[in-house]
Amino acid sequence: MWSALRFGLLPALKLYLLGFKVLLAQLLNKPLRLPVMPRQNGKVAIVTGGGRGIGYEVVRQLARLGAHVIIGGRDEQEGLAAVRRICEEDKEAKVEFRKLDLASVLSIHQFAQSFKERNLPLNILVNNAGVMLVPEGRTGDGHELHFGVNYLGHFLLTWLLLDLLKSSGEHGDAARVVNVSSSAHSIGEIRLNDINSSYHYSAHAAYCQSKLAQVSFSSHLHQEMQRGGFRVNSCAVDPGMVNTALYCHLWTPLRMAQRVIARLFFRTPAEGAVTVLSAALSQDCKGGYWSNGHREMTSPAFDPGLELNLWEVSMQLLGLQSDQ
Ligand SMILES: NC(=O)c1ccc[n+]([C@@H]2O[C@H](COP(=O)([O-])OP(=O)(O)OC[C@H]3O[C@@H](n4cnc5c(N)ncnc54)[C@H](OP(=O)(O)O)[C@@H]3O)[C@@H](O)[C@H]2O)c1
């Protein structure tokens, strides 16, 4: 009984309460608008999960600014339809779709390998794809779905593309890794002794853990890049509450209410993309945590020991070596 409360009901209550607070704050803020951004001609960007939702709007805007954008996604039809729509809107747009399933280590390796073989630079990597409140399940490699897709898959993708990011960053124009996290990270807890939620599964806690893991990864990666003198910035972003299909796994009565509320009060996907694009394109991006269109003055405080532990556990789970 106590364990059902602690591991089931409590994380759900905390997440819905946080959602309510975030929505209130969002309503009191001015609507977000994308500021004028510099042209991105000659730049190459990868956006995971760019076939719909926030990711689609990020791809659309990057392409409009002249970047060559690759959508990495698992649904080919959705991805190709997104490419078609963007190219119909802007005949000059350079957008393509490549298959990437973040729930499969093999697929991530294949995506990264085929990208590297093209000898393109990589200026912007947007780790956007995500799942929320999915029923208990495992990736092809045995990891809990939120942890595996939202965090570990992006960790591996970034790791495999890191050399390319390092060589593409220029003085005054560093390459970017933008991790699309969420305010839900603030109530997350990283349970290193049960990272795959094998003992107690709560979809709510698993989502929050994955979003906290992304923020922690982002911060650690940024510090590593600065220490090594590499021109790569890594930041984490909260897009706000955005009306997308992410909420499709909510409990049916809640989903019905959420649909109405979302239509009236949530950000549109285009508004949700504003903070992601600001982090990806602002000339003064120096890592950190971004929300409501700008870099927050105070980034979430971390236990550096936990950050390092999570990094090392992730390397182990993926069979990676630091000197690779
Ligand atoms: N919407 C919000 O209120 C909100 C708030 C905070 C943070 N976020 C974050 O924003 C990001 C984008 O979410 P969204 O709101 O735009 O949701 P969305 O419309 O559901 O988009 C999620 C994208 O991720 C892709 N994806 C899911 N699993 C994948 C996998 N295994 N491999 C590759 N791609 C996969 C989906 O593609 P498929 O068609 O293949 O499923 C879809 O393109 C997420 O990281 C989310 O956590 C959203």
**Which atom of ligand 1 lies at the shortest distance from residue 103's CA?**
31
Q: How far is the CA of 23 from the centre of ligand 1 (A)?
A: 19
User: Has residue 312 been placed in a domain?
Assistant: yes
Whose tokens are 């409590």? That residue is 10
User: Has residue 239 been placed in a domain?
Assistant: yes
User: Has residue 276 been placed in a domain?
Assistant: yes
pLDDT for the residue numbered 299: 67
Whichever domain contains 79, its CATH number is 3.40.50.720
Which residues sit with their C-beta closer than 6 Å to ligand 1? 48-49, 51-55, 73-75, 78, 100-103, 128-132, 149-150, 180, 182, 239, 241-242, 244-246
Choose the residue to mutate in 26, 48, 54 for probing ligand 1, maximizing ligand atoms within 8 Å of C-beta: 54
Q: How far is the CA of 129 from the centre of ligand 1 (A)?
A: 4
pLDDT tens for each residue of the chain, 324 residues long: 666 666 678 999 999 999 999 999 999 988 899 999 999 999 999 999 999 999 999 999 999 999 999 999 999 999 999 999 999 999 999 999 999 999 999 999 999 999 999 999 999 999 999 999 999 999 999 999 999 999 999 999 999 999 999 999 998 899 999 999 999 999 999 999 999 999 889 999 999 999 999 999 999 999 999 999 999 999 999 999 999 999 999 999 999 999 999 999 999 999 999 999 999 999 877 899 999 999 987 767 677 888 899 999 999 999 998 764
pLDDT for the residue numbered 324: 46
pLDDT for the residue numbered 73: 98
pLDDT for the residue numbered 118: 97
Find the domain containing 138 and state its range.
42-317
Q: How far is the CA of 167 from the centre of ligand 1 (A)?
A: 29
**Which atom of ligand 1 lies at the shortest distance from residue 107's CA?**
32
Give buried/exposed letters for 245-256 (b at 16+ CB in 10 A, else e). ebbeebeeeeee
Residue 62: is it exposed, middle or buried by C-beta count within 10 angstroms (0-12/13-18/19+)? buried
**Residue 214 and residue 17: Cα distance in Å, rounded?**
22
Task: Output 63-66 pairs: Cβ under 8 A, ≥24 positions apart.
Answer: 63/90, 63/93, 63/94, 63/95, 64/90, 64/93, 65/37, 65/38, 65/39, 65/40, 65/281, 66/39, 66/40, 66/41, 66/42, 66/92
User: Has residue 4 been placed in a domain?
Assistant: no
Choose the residue to mutate in 146, 246, 267, 271 for probing ligand 1, maximizing ligand atoms within 8 Å of C-beta: 246
Annotation marks residue 207 as catalytic? yes
User: Has residue 324 been placed in a domain?
Assistant: no
Question: Which one of 16, 199, 201, 207 is the catalytic residue?
Answer: 207
Q: How far is the CA of 93 from the centre of ligand 1 (A)?
A: 23
pLDDT for the residue numbered 88: 97
φ, ψ of residue 265 in degrees (nearest 5): -120, -15
Closest CA to 23 of 285, 324, 240, 214: 240
Q: How far is the CA of 168 from the centre of ligand 1 (A)?
A: 27
**Residue 8 and residue 17: Cα distance in Å, rounded?**
15
Q: Whose CA is nearest to atom 47 of ligand 1?
A: 130
Instruction: Quickly list H helices, the chain.
Output: 2-4, 10-28, 53-64, 76-89, 105-116, 145, 153-168, 203-227, 252-265, 269-281, 304-318
Q: Could you tell me if 154 and 216 are in contact, meaning their C-beta atoms sit under 8 angstroms apart?
A: no
CA atoms within 13 A on the CB side of 50: 31
pLDDT for the residue numbered 303: 77
User: Has residue 81 been placed in a domain?
Assistant: yes
**Which atom of ligand 1 lies at the shortest distance from residue 241's CA?**
3
**Residue 105 and residue 90: Cα distance in Å, rounded?**
34
Q: How far is the CA of 102 from the centre of ligand 1 (A)?
A: 11
The number of folded domains in the chain is: 1
User: Has residue 24 been placed in a domain?
Assistant: no
Choose the residue to mutate in 109, 244, 274 for probing ligand 1, maximizing ligand atoms within 8 Å of C-beta: 244
Amino acid at residue number 298:
T
How is residue 121 annotated by DSSP?
A: -
Q: Could you tell me if 127 and 177 are in contact, meaning their C-beta atoms sit under 8 angstroms apart?
A: yes
**Which atom of ligand 1 lies at the shortest distance from residue 242's CA?**
3
Q: pTM of this prediction?
A: 0.96
Tokens of 248: 């499709």
**Which atom of ligand 1 lies at the shortest distance from residue 50's CA?**
43
Q: Could you tell me if 131 and 146 are in contact, meaning their C-beta atoms sit under 8 angstroms apart?
A: yes
Closest CA to 125 of 241, 216, 214: 214
Closest CA to 92 of 51, 60, 50, 58: 60
pLDDT for the residue numbered 30: 84
φ, ψ of residue 277 in degrees (nearest 5): -70, -35
User: Has residue 295 been placed in a domain?
Assistant: yes
